[in-house]
Amino acid sequence: MLLSGLANTVYRILIIDDDIQNIFILEDILSPLGNIYFSESGSNALALVDKIKPDVILLDIEMPDMDGWQVCRALKSNPLYSDIPIIFITGHTEPEFEKLALESGGVDFITKPFNASICCLRVHTQLKFRQQNHLIVKAKEELQQLVNQVPMLITYWDAAGNNLFSNDYSGMWFDQLVGQVDGKHISSIFPAELSHAVLSHQKVATTKPVKYIVTVANDIGTSFYEVFQSKMKSSSGMDGYLVTVVDVSEVKHAKQALHSEKERLRVTLNSIGDAVIATDTKGLITFMNPIAERMTGWRIKEALHQKIETVMQLRDSNTRHTLLNPLYIALREQRIVAMALNSQLLARGGQVFAVEDSAAPIRNENGEVIGAIMVFHDVSETMAMAMKMSHLANHDQLTDLPNRILLQDRLSVACSSAKSFGTKAAALLVDIDHFKYLNDSLGHQLGDELICLMAQRINSLIPPSYTLARLGGDEFVVLMSDTQSVEASSILATKLVDAMHEPFVLAGQKFSVSISIGISVYPDDASDAEELMRHADVAMYRAKQEGRNRFSFFSYDLENSIRERHQLELSLRNALLNDELLVFYQPKFDLTTKRIIGAEALVRLTGDDGIFISPTEFIPLAEETGLIIKLGQQVLSKACIEAKRWFDMGYVIPVSVNVAVAQFADPNLEHMIATALQESQLPAELLELEITETALMLDAEEMQTKLSQLKALGVTIAIDDFGTGYSSLAYLKKFNVDVMKIDMSFVKDMLNNKHDYEIVKTIISLGRSMELTLIAEGVETEAQRQALIELDCVMGQGYLFSRPLPANEFSDFILLTEHWV
């Protein structure tokens, strides 16, 4: 047997005979061959066969109820018993009986009287045949089971390619194998690629199997089949060939995926910017990528099986001592280990790299450590960039001086040091006087150059232990640390102020510059670094208030004034935001007839307590903070609306509005005036713009252009406070102005001071010669009115006629004046 092998078998022999004597004789003869069973009736024997399942039956031919031929035919007609060999028992020796016995299905016959040896031999022979048949059947079953279970398709084909056998009964391999495939041609069963390959190999096939791979495309992708093909010769002498097919798609796809993954890993490791070195558990190198080769100076062929510390020499960047490679720690402790931050890699050629990163163990599928990998990269440029970024973050871009951030840190250190050692620290806040106007006239490029020259000059005047920082714009700070006295800061400030008297050379021209310095001392003036800087700012503002080109120390009175200034700025901003500014109107008179010929709009601001704040306080603040543009817009709008109301009442009274220097720098000035005239519907000839001499002298050419644009609107232009500025005839004749106002400072003392009288006389004469309308400001006495009339100035304004009035009172005043004139 194929799998079971031979086994000791006890045969079951059934004797069917109506003669009991024959049964006993046969039992005696055959008992050595197995277990004997008997039946005296043919019909009973059929029932007994199902129970004992005999290996051989001895059947008597002549029996009363059912003869032997009938029993034999009944057994052979039943598939369950048709294979049981039947030996007939007969007393006849004629050939006809023998022929009939064989035709009925019998295999042999025994004649009476019985010859014991021949009888035993005949029965034994049939039993052996029976046993062999059982073994063959069993072997076929086991072989079929084996064929069915193997994970491959087993087929057998004749020489013409027609199927003789297949172990696929369910269509698991190919749909065409389902059902009866015997005799079908291979091309109708196998896919085209597979059948073509099998047929093409048929010519070269031998008894030794040929192995090859066939690729088959299908709906779900590509399948790969490994084919074993050999030539066979059947027992009938017909040639054929055995073809076994193994689906290796998973293996093939897995190999392809593995190859792709290995290739992807190889390309990744060779392409990444990090260096990679792999070792075994002893630290012997098994892999290096190109970056590692470049950084270490070792080629992979040279580095293989070398100790990692030989190829990758690490040392401390500070002490230059050799460092233990973290890969060994990763192997020993079986964990990821980061490299020290101050590590250096000494390359084979002597080049030094600042490196960082980590090492990690490599494990197999069982979690066992089989090596380690070292990943590192060059951080030299990163560290240099970090230092550069740190420098940029802490230094001014224009001058490369410490900026506000670094200064704050050094101020804190200086204060802490002064507190610990009982010394002082001083902050000198340096600001360039009138730098905004200088920057606008020079241009920002030369302005930046001036800032750099200023920084160089200040730096040359202070010791290295001091810090010079730039806060931005035109502000510098000198930090004096560990000083012993306040006098030292005074001496330095004097030196700085005096040093600025030497002109700076820009674009081949010399420019004189002055500075204002505010000084605050720790711990005298401040309790911490923040307060020290704030008080230095307060002191600097005081120096500017006192006339600039000087230095000033901080005082609490000064701090209070700064607080008041802040409150004033807040009040001004709120008034502008809520449209709460008041506009008063001071009438202008014909000095001869005392009739109202115009009015000057004057802005007024009330504090939180309802008390008026002097314009000399909030107007300079508005100019300094940039609020003057919005303030001027609101005053202009209110004045135009009021003048239109007078016009609607039947009074043609021009209104004059002051235009500040900053407003002329505003490119929207012309549009703002045009809008105010349009919205109020005031005729343009009833609006007069008053401009100071100082504004005219800033940029004569540009001012001339702007004045022409404003005149084109139809408004009148007046020069305010004439005589207090440059009063240059060369400039004056260039400007297209209509009115000249004589400053009140000359009118006030013209009768008491001969020089003032002559100045007023000259201004009037100059105005007449230029055909300008003249108006005297500050007319307070009748004597002044008469003197002005005598000098041919017939227009004026002042307290002799009226103080500035609110809008409603001015309307009443118009009516009253018309009444008593």
pLDDT along the chain (821 residues), means of 10: 56 87 86 87 84 88 83 85 85 72 78 85 86 75 62 78 75 65 79 84 77 82 83 69 82 75 73 86 92 91 92 88 90 86 86 87 89 87 73 87 92 91 92 83 85 93 92 92 82 91 88 91 90 92 88 73 79 92 94 93 89 88 88 95 94 94 85 94 95 70 83 91 58 77 90 90 88 92 94 93 93 77 46
Q: What are the residue boundaries of the structural domains of the chain, listed by start?
A: 11-146, 151-253, 284-384, 395-554, 589-601+632-820
Can you give the C-alpha Rg of the chain in angstroms?
Answer: 62
Residue 644 φ/ψ region, left for φ over 0, alpha for ψ in the -120 to 50 degree band, beta for the rest: alpha
> Which H helix or E strand runs over 559?
helix 556-577
pLDDT at residue 170, as a whole number: 63
> Which H helix or E strand runs over 95?
helix 95-103
CATH number for the region 395-554 comes to: 3.30.70.270
Judged by DSSP in three states, 339 sits in: coil
Say if strands 424-432 and 369-378 run parallel, antiparallel, or are unpaired: unpaired
pLDDT at residue 150, as a whole number: 63
Q: How far does the chain reach from its first CA to its final CA, in angstroms?
A: 153
* Structure-token pair, residue 500: 């600025």
How do the residues of the chain divide into helix, strand and coil, expressed in percent and rounded to 5?
45, 25, 30
CATH number for the region 284-384 comes to: 3.30.450.20
Which residue type is seen at 164? L
For residue 311, the tally of other CB atoms under 10 A from its CB is: 22
* Residue 547, CA distances (Å) to 164, 326, 447, 504, 618 in order: 122, 69, 23, 21, 18
Q: Is 33 exposed, middle or buried (0-12, 13-18, 19+ CB in 10 A)?
A: middle
Are the CB atoms for 375 and 276 separated by under 8 Å?
yes
Q: Cβ neighbours of residue 274 under 8 Å, at least 6 residues apart?
A: 291, 357, 375, 376, 377
Q: Is 655 exposed, middle or buried (0-12, 13-18, 19+ CB in 10 A)?
A: buried
Residue with tokens 């897995």: 254
Q: 330, 288, 325: which is closest to 310 by C-alpha?
A: 325
HEC per residue, 114-171: CCHHHHHHHHHHHHHHHHHHHHHHHHHHHHHHHHHHCCCEEEEEECCCEEEEECCCCC
Q: 661, 663, 614: which is closest to 636 by C-alpha?
A: 663
* CA 151/CA 226 separation, integer angstroms: 12
Are the CB atoms for 813 and 584 separated by under 8 Å?
no
Fold observed for domain 589-601+632-820 = TIM Barrel (3.20.20)
pLDDT at residue 1, as a whole number: 45
Q: 275, 299, 284: which is closest to 371 by C-alpha?
A: 284
pLDDT at residue 2, as a whole number: 47
* CA 176/CA 198 separation, integer angstroms: 17
Residue 726 φ/ψ region, left for φ over 0, alpha for ψ in the -120 to 50 degree band, beta for the rest: alpha
Q: 732, 672, 741: which is closest to 703 by C-alpha?
A: 732
* Structure-token pair, residue 749: 């003392």
Q: 193, 188, 166: which is closest to 176 by C-alpha?
A: 188
Say if strands 275-279 and 239-247 run parallel, antiparallel, or are unpaired: unpaired
Q: Do 151-253 and 284-384 show the same overall fold?
A: yes
* Structure-token pair, residue 497: 């102020």
CATH number for the region 151-253 comes to: 3.30.450.20
For residue 112, the tally of other CB atoms under 10 A from its CB is: 15
* CA 13/CA 740 separation, integer angstroms: 157
pLDDT at residue 562, as a whole number: 62
Fold observed for domain 11-146 = Rossmann fold (3.40.50)
Beta strands, E only, 170-220: 210-218
Are the CB atoms for 454 and 517 separated by under 8 Å?
no
